[in-house]
Amino acid sequence: MHLAIFDLDNTLLAGDSDYAWGQFLADEGAVNRDAYSAQNQIFYEEYQRGTLDIDAFLKFSLAPLAQHEPAKLLAWRAEFINSVITPMVTDKARNLVAHHRQRGDELLIITATNAFVTAPIAEIFGIEHLLATQPTLRAGRYTGGYDGTPTFQAGKRLVLDQWLAGRQWQPQKTWFYSDSRNDLPLLETVDHPVAVDPDAVLRERALAAGWPIITLRD
């Protein structure tokens, strides 16, 4: 069987769910609006430049999960998915996923954005398998920390290898769709790397290597 792997933010989604979730929390008054929004923007720009300190970012982005009751977090998340994420899902992205599903490929989303935010997004696409940064949960509440390796940069390749080893399965062929220079460690190891609306660094690498460049924007 073949494996089709999809990055999420700015790949399957026409936007960044991690950044958008931070802005949503600020708008809802769940965090200090001005201070949180400003820091969220700084981290997002560092991510785009490929200089993000993932530990510092996760300490920032997971803190609100520890500051609020789970029921309130779930209510906010439901509204976030409905009002912010649904408009980011394009027909082209749905069609790409459907293409691989119709071929009989195994489907997987791998994203640095935490699993609390991304689990319902994977459900929108009907993708069962999700590898995402795992927020720590203790006695029914989030702690603000995370478990295991963040699925970011080389961490994506490591966590994917662990997932495959746990399933005792090696796909015959692999595809990986991504927009970001941060995903080059994984893009360079799959059989079919595909650049999706890529940033400048990934576009240059794709052109040099002859990788396909596609758009999933309507």
Please report, for the chain, the start and end positions of each structural domain, with discontinuous segments joined by +: 3-214
Cβ atoms of 200 and 171 closer than 8 Å: no
- pLDDT tens profile 97-130: 999 999 999 999 999 999 999 999 999 999 999 9
C-alpha 117 chain-centroid distance: 9
Q: Which residue in 9, 18, 179, 183 is the catalytic one?
A: 9
For the domain 3-214, what is the CATH superfamily, name and number? HAD superfamily/HAD-like (3.40.50.1000)
State pTM to two decimals: 0.96
Give tens-digit pLDDT for 21-38: 999 999 999 999 999 999
Per-residue model confidence (pLDDT) at position 13: 98
Q: Which two tokens stand for residue 169?
A: 């399965």
Is 147 tagged catalytic? no
Distance CA 41, CA 141 (A): 27
The residue length of the chain stands at: 218
Among the listed residues 7, 16, 18, 183, the single catalytic one is 7
The confidence score (pLDDT) of residue 90 equals 98
9 tagged catalytic? yes
The pLDDT mean for the chain works out to 97
